[in-house]
Every structure is written in structure tokens, then in C-alpha cells.
Structure 1
Amino acid sequence: MTTGGDHAFGDLISASGITYEMLDSLMALKDLDGVPGLPPLNMIEEMRYEKNTHKLTRADIERQKQEEIAKSRVRQVDSQGRAYGTGKRKCSIARVWIEPGEGKFVINDKQFDVYFPMLDQRAALLRPLSETKTLGLHDVNCTVKGGGISGQIGAIRLGMSRALQNWAPNHFRPPMKEAGFLTRDSRIVERKKPRKAKARKSYQWVKR
């Protein structure tokens, strides 16, 4: 059926058999803009069906985003054959470089066992290397500033994990991601409040 461009809008709708409940779908499909006559009803139904079947759920969209991000991850090595990573924790900032070597670990021009004398501190620092089974296979050189001991350990560990990810993203990222080494710990000390002894601790109340 052909309809002229001078027909009234209501006549076109009644002639095509389209109900008023379908007008929103028609306007969304923009089939009325610049077209002398409305498309047949079966064509509109096919377009609506195709549009509905191509709707993605939130999980599908998130899965596609993660796949695109994973594909975009490539090996990042500088001209000297080193991979770099930055780590932050509390007030500490660490810059870490890794390269193939004999397992040397230098922090601010000092051996890591001299910089961190406690055994539990060294164990926490070496966890990314032990998790990826690269302990003794890479030389690590880093500079760290600010914060205390725990903050510097967290910053160095995050920077080392990111450097390992840049060295071999497909191989090293899954175990470190599962262990939580690639997630920045955003916890900081809560500020002191007025009329409080500390952040939340109150002063002793005396009745008399």
C-alpha cells in the first residue's frame, strides 16, 4: 500500500494498522523522519524483534569490557629492557624497576635486608615474586619516599606487582590479581576530630 506525503498522521497510522501503544517504538526507530509513508507492520515487528534480541545484559557488557581491557594489555619494557611500576600506600610512593638478573633487591641504594631488617617485613615484600614463582630470577631496583615502614612495604609491593604485570601481562597478572596484589589499598589514618582525644576516642568524663 502506498501513501502520499500529504496524508494526515492519524490516517497513516490507521491505514498501516499500527496501534498507539507502538508509537514509542516507532519514534525510537526514527522511521517517521523524512519518509513519505510508514513502513509495513511486519517490517516494524522485525525491527523491534531484532532490537530486543540484541539487548545485552549488564553482565555481558561488563564481560565485553574486561575482554577488551585484557586484549589491550601488552608487554611494556623500556629501552634498557626493564619493566616499570608505581605503587602508593598511605603517604608512601614507590617507583620500581625489574629486569632479568640474579635476584638482587635494592631499595634506595641499600639491600632490602638492610633497609627492612625484620623477617616478616621481607616476607611481605617478596610475596609477589613468590606468587609468580620468579624469586631469584629478576633484579629489583626501587626508590621509595614518605610514610612509615608499613606504608613503604605496601607501596613497594604494589609497584613491584605492576612492574611484573607490565613485564608479562598474560602470565603474571592472573595469579597476582587473584592474590589481591594489583589492588591499591586506599585505607589511611582517620583524621582527629574536634573535642575528641583521637579520631573517635573521647576524653574521660568526670561527673564532679
Structure 2
Amino acid sequence: MADFPFDSVGFDLDGTLLETHRDLGTAVNHALEHGGFDPVPVESATDLIGGGAKIMLKRAVDAQGGLEHEEFRRLYKVMLGYYSENNAVHTRPYPHALEVLDELAGRGVRVAVVTNKFEGFARQILTTLGMIDRFEGIIGGDSLGKDADGNYIAKPAPGPVLKAREVCGRGSIAFIGDSSYDVKAARAAGVPVVAAMYGYCDGTAEELGADAAIDSLKGLIPALERL
């Protein structure tokens, strides 16, 4: 147990720990229909996830001609309002997620969530799923506030990953995520990163360029042990 190479592990949420695309896709469609746009197939939401809910909705809207800034903001608020009440209807942990978290805990490894989802949503979902108490911290897309340009300090910026290391005790940390946002954030933070290729990936394993890649969470701990 003592020879595990990391003191803590940071997890992305959507597409890494949790399969969330059905609830996200339904929220996007609610907003699209409200704005007079055609809905997208819910399964296609896997291609929209990555940079957070705002980017997800913008991609869907832009594909149908786009909106002026203020009109888009109004539609985005409609989406958030719907998602706040319907964010854990179909969302579930991926296979082996709970077992991996239990094994890490048994080895004395602390874990945190680093997501571009608003912290409140992440906490709400993890609480509904009975998972919240497993984590030392939940760092959301809004947890670190905004930068000088008024943008939330979120992945691919390194700040959220560094914050996860801080809340876990400042020891060695590895990160796992399914998108280029995750890999870039980990790289910028100087942290080893594992690509979750079973998730909502926006590139191949080679394109993402992580230190390791897994096809199932069952492979995470062996992958970390090899780093």
C-alpha cells in the first residue's frame, strides 16, 4: 500500500467519473427549443461536452446560425435553470468508479473533483448519487472566481488542478480526464495525466498526449502505478 506513487488523485467529472450526457443533452434541447432552434439528438451531446455548459450550448446554437450576445445569455440562463432541477435524472457513475474510489481510499490516497461544471451543480449531483463524502474537495468551473478579463479560471488553466493538490494536502498528485481541457490543465500544472478514453474525448489518445490512456476505470490504478 505504501508504495503507491501518488498521495492524491484528481478526477474530471463529466465523461470521467460520471456519464452525464443524457441530462446535459436534455438541458441543451430544452434551451434550444425555448429559443426556436431544432433539438439535437441527446446522444450527440457527447460531442458537445468539454469546456462547460456555456461552450456546450454555444456549439449547438452556432451550428444553427448563432445568436447575438444578449440573446445567447438569456438562453444560457434558461438552460442552467432547467439543469439545476434535472441534473441527476439519468446521470450515473461509470462502471468501476465506486470500486476505484474505494481502493484509492483503502490505500490512503485522497481524491478531489476538478470540473468545469459549476461547483454547485457538481456538489448537487454527487450528493444525489451518494458520492460527495468520498472527496476532499470539489473544484468547479466557478470555484476560483474570474481572471482580469472576466473569464472563470477553469480548465485548461492550471489553477483548478493546483487547487485540488492543495485541498488534498499538497503532496504528489495525478489527474485523470477525458478531454484536451484536462490534459492541457494537468500539463500546465506540471502534473501527470491519464486520458479516460471511454469518455467524451475530443481527440484520439495520440492527439490528447496524456502520460497514459485507459479504456475503463478498471485500468486506472494499474496505469497510475506504472507512471
| TM-score class, shorter | under 0.3
So what's the TM-score if we normalise by structure 1? 0.24
So what's the TM-score if we normalise by structure 2? 0.22
Structure with the greater relative contact order (CA < 8 A, sep ≥ 6): 1 or 2?
2
